[in-house]
């Protein structure tokens, strides 16, 4: 996104360049993603209560929604706006959710694709997905006040990549090409890392030394697909080593486990999350793989289609790790209009993890210590 105004302190926030967009902003993540305007409640009364054989109900998966890393990143932008005033620039989407991003844009955040678009001396927040050392260096060259909101679990993978590269190991990174997290991780060891998108890539994989390999993974992948990729890697390269600890984050695993529990009993599973959210898209796939008769992803409740509910007695509902609970509440309200007013929560784990905010945000504008944890909305 182009920025057309300097940053002289209290000057008005710059405007985005014109584009065919919704809601006044455009964010890119390898491609342009239109952002819908933020809404507290979706349009009501659109779904009809059609009769089906048996009682209608909702199985609500738990855990769902915000994880501690997402909450930390969102709080970081909110506190940066409070502490420094607008505009605060954010490189890429702070998290992959159109509602969250557009809401922050309305509050004064300016989302850019590259630090080169940020005026010299301004404040910039790095997204939860992490950045490469080259991005950090680029921000320093522009004298930017950088606030690193990278999820600590992603930072762990970065440190592993750096350590293995220093030991002259070849790193097989399991992840999706073009995803911001993958680009950031590969940037920590670009000459030592080979990307594998999934099981289908293993047969053609060429490595310099089959006895000097270690695998790492993107944190938001399907657990089952990742383990299948690892199994195939082991068949070809028996000496490949595991990372010191599991790279797929606790929240991704927990949400997939919950969906696996809900899916066999569901005629339909609705996943709340954005199209560029890897973990949200994986939840749809996991639901279908584990017995759901149908599964769909929506950003907002008013995207639910009447024909999805034809003959459906049980609807499973969950949300990706970057989705605020208010959007799930909208979905439950829409389903209640269609007769699915009975809600049973299916709990497979309890989460109480919290992460410290970036050090720049652990005081208020006057320098006094303030709340320094992310995770309040998980």
How long a stretch of residues is the chain? 378
Distance separating alpha carbons of residues 175 and 213, to the nearest angstrom: 16
Phi and psi (nearest 5°) for 181?
Answer: -65, -40
Stated as kind and residue range, the H or E segment containing 227 is: helix 223-236
SS3 label, residue 337: helix
Could you check whether the bond before residue 87 is cis, i.e. omega within 30 degrees of 0?
A: yes
β-strand partners of 269: 295, 316
Distance separating alpha carbons of residues 283 and 280, to the nearest angstrom: 5
Contact 97, 323 (CB under 8 A): yes
What are the DSSP calls for 233-299, one per residue? HHHH-TTPBPPSS--S-HHHHHHHHHHHHHGGG-SEEEEE--TT-HHHHHHHHHHHHTT-S-EEEES
In angstroms, the Cα distances linking 39 to 102, 219, 299, 325, 365 are 10, 29, 11, 13, 30
The neighbour count for residue 325, using CB atoms within 10 Å, is 14
181 annotated active-site: yes
Which entry of 160, 180, 181, 183 is annotated as an active-site residue?
Answer: 181
Distance separating alpha carbons of residues 19 and 235, to the nearest angstrom: 49
Q: Residues with catalytic annotation?
A: 181
């Amino acid at each position: 996104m182009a920025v057309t105004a300097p940053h002289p302190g209290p000057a008005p926030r710059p405007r985005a360049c014109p584009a065919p967009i919704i809601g006044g902003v455009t964010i890119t993540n390898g491609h342009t993603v239109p952002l819908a305007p933020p809404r507290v409640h979706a349009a009501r009364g659109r779904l009809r209560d059609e009769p089906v054989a048996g009682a209608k109900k909702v199985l609500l998966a738990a855990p769902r929604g915000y994880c501690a890393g997402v909450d930390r990143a969102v709080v970081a932008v909110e506190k940066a706006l409070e502490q420094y005033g607008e505009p605060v620039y954010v490189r890429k989407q702070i998290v992959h959710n159109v509602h969250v991003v557009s809401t922050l844009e309305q509050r004064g955040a300016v989302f850019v694709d590259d630090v080169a678009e940020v005026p010299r001396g301004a404040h910039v927040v790095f997204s939860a997905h992490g950045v490469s050392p080259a991005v950090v260096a680029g921000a320093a060259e522009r004298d930017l006040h950088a606030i690193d909101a990278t999820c600590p679990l992603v930072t762990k993978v970065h440190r592993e990549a750096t350590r293995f590269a220093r030991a002259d190991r070849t790193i097989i990174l399991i992840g999706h090409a073009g995803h911001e997290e993958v680009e950031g991780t590969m940037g920590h060891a670009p000459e030592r890392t080979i990307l594998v998108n999934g099981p289908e890539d293993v047969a053609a994989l060429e490595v310099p030394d089959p006895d000097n390999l270690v695998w790492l993974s993107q944190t938001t992948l399907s657990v089952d697909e990742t383990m299948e990729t690892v199994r195939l890697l082991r068949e070809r390269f028996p000496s490949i080593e595991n990372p010191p600890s599991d790279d797929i984050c606790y929240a991704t695993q927990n949400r997939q486990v919950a969906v696996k529990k809900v899916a066999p009993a569901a005629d339909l599973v609705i996943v709340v999350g954005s199209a560029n959210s890897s973990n949200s898209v994986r939840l749809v796939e996991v639901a279908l793989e584990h017995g759901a008769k149908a599964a769909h992803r929506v950003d907002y409740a008013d995207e639910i289609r009447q024909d999805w509910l034809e003959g459906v007695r049980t609807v499973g509902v969950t949300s990706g790790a970057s989705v605020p609970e208010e959007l799930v509440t909208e979905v439950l309200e829409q389903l209640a209009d269609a007769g699915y007013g009975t809600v049973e929560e299916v709990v497979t784990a309890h989460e109480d993890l919290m992460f410290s905010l970036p050090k720049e945000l652990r005081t208020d504008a006057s320098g006094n210590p303030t709340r320094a944890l992310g995770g309040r909305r998980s």
